[in-house]
Amino acid sequence: MTATPHQVGILVFPGVTLLDVAGPAEVFTEANRYGATYEVKAYSLDGHAVRSSTGITVAADAAVADADGSDTVLLPGSDDLAGFVEPALVTAAIGLTRGAGRIASICAGAFLLAATGRLDGRRATTHWRHGATLARRHPQVMVEPDAIFVTDGTITTSAGVSAGIDLALALVEDDHGPGVACQVARSMVVFLQRPGGHSQFSVPSRTPRPRSRMLRDLLDTMAADPAGSYSVPELAAAAGISTRHLTRLFQQQLGTTPARHVERLRVEAAQALIDAGHTVKSAAARSGFGSEDRLRRAFAHHLGVSPTAYRRRGTTAHGTGEPSTRDAAPARDRRPRGSHWNRTSPRSIDTSSGSGATLPSAASGWTRRVVATTMPSNSRWSAE
């Protein structure tokens, strides 16, 4: 007996970001090779083809008014949506999402979804460039400024462009389990292990590139092995300069101290280790913190949660890779790991260097699979 197709409807309109449409559509189509039964259709306001952000024309299967009902509806973004959302587009989104069992927006598509009122009282994310604007324009929406994607009930919002692929993989996982999602990710040569609650940016990518070649080399060394021993005297000796001069260079060119930079790297490494299935104790040792207590203080400062609470929040595409046999993964809580745009984290003291434990590939590979781009150093926004 043939399974009933799962209808996926994508709203397309002039200027729509092509990858926001093509990325998720490719994920769903690829999943059909592994037992899924998705049927992807594009709907435009009038049923005519539209010109995308790249100039490539996207054909529409039908007009929104003629849509025959979708199980999942995707609202992609465009550069224009962060500035103004046309009333006709809002009406189309309301019509297309009516009766849908699951709704998702990609990038600036969150502005369109918010304009329908469906994000009121919910957590949501968007491209980091637009997070503050979304929070100001729709104060009733709890904006997670730099999460890859956020799921709140039956509604999921994702960050910019390629994050739509992460979102679609998570939806495939919901429907068909982590095995199929992993097969799709491998087939598309993308990483499944980019959890929704993770930052859109790795520590190295959001750190200003220093003018000093010597300092750049030090940063590259630390990023490659966050668990190494990086006390200020050791770093200064490796660079052939005084400790005072090294500290001054960090402050002038990076706006931080060596200890704080190392701590940020190790928090990210510990996240990757926990996501890979390590216990909190193992993650603390392998990321360079040495003790669970130091890891706990660092998590409280940077993430606003304890390592144990972090570990409980998600598995596979939603939080980690497939659960490791080292520790059975607990039940999934879909709350994102990041802080809301208007939440401030407690202060913490500088963390000195830890042990020189070897960092496994599960952690050291993280910086290579997070989006590498430039971001403002502060990923939290205020209401002003």
> If DSSP states are collapsed to H, E and C, what string results for 267-332?
HHHHHHHHHCCCCHHHHHHHHCCCCHHHHHHHHHHHCCCCHHHHHHCCCHHHCCCCCCCCCCCCCC
Residue whose pair of structure tokens reads 């996982």 in the numeric block = 173
For 173-228, how does the pLDDT look when each residue is reduced to its tens digit (9 = 90+)?
999 988 898 899 889 988 654 544 455 445 655 567 788 889 988 998 888 889 99
pLDDT tens by residue, the chain, 384 residues? 567 999 999 999 999 999 999 999 999 999 999 999 999 999 999 999 999 999 999 999 999 999 988 999 999 999 899 999 999 999 999 999 999 999 999 999 999 999 999 999 999 999 988 999 999 999 999 998 778 888 999 999 998 778 899 899 989 999 998 889 889 988 998 865 454 445 544 565 556 778 888 998 899 888 888 999 999 999 999 999 999 999 999 999 988 999 999 998 999 889 888 877 889 999 999 999 999 999 999 998 887 788 988 877 644 445 443 333 333 333 233 333 344 443 323 222 233 333 333 333 333 332 222 222 223 333 333 232
Mapping DSSP onto H, E and C, the string for 198-242 reads CECCCHHHHCCCCCCHHHHHHHHHHHHCCCCCCCHHHHHHHHCCC
As a whole number of angstroms, the distance between CA 71 and CA 69 comes to 7
Residue 127 lies in a domain: yes
| Pairwise CA distance, residues 197 & 383, whole Å | 22
Domain identity same for 69 and 129: yes
Beta strands 102-106; 149-152: pairing state: unpaired
Q: Looking at the domain assignment, is residue 197 inside a domain?
A: no
Distance CA 51, CA 167 (A): 24
Beta bridge partners of 44: 63
β-pair type (72-75, 50-51): unpaired
Q: What is the CATH number of the domain that holds 113?
A: 3.40.50.880
Boundary-marking domain end, from 128, 162, 188: 188
Query: Do 137 and 214 sit in the same domain of this protein?
Result: no
**Average pLDDT for the chain:** 79
In a domain, 317, yes or no: yes
Looking up residue 207, the CATH number of its domain turns out to be 1.10.10.60
Please report which residue ranges of the chain form alpha helices under DSSP H.
Answer: 18-31, 87-97, 109-115, 131-137, 163-176, 178-188, 203-206, 213-224, 232-239, 243-254, 258-275, 280-287, 292-302, 307-312, 361-364, 366-369
Taking the C-alpha atoms of residue 9 and residue 12, their distance in angstroms, rounded to an integer, is 10
Is 30 within 8 Å of 184 (Cβ atoms)?
Answer: yes
* 111-127 pLDDT, tens digit each: 999 999 999 999 999 99
SS3 of 161, please? Answer: coil
How far is Cα 101 from Cα 208, in angstroms, rounded to an integer?
43
Domain-embedded: residue 379:
no
Tell whether 234 and 154 lie within a shared domain.
no
Same structural domain for residues 340 and 296? yes
Paired with 384 in beta bridges are none
CA angle 100–106–111, rounded 5-degree value: 85
Which range of residues forms the domain containing residue 24? 6-188
For residues 101 and 180, membership in a common domain is answered with yes
Domain-located, residue 56: yes
Q: Are 234 and 355 part of one and the same domain?
A: yes
Other beta carbons within 10 angstroms of residue 340's beta carbon come to 16
Give me the amino acid identity at 268. E
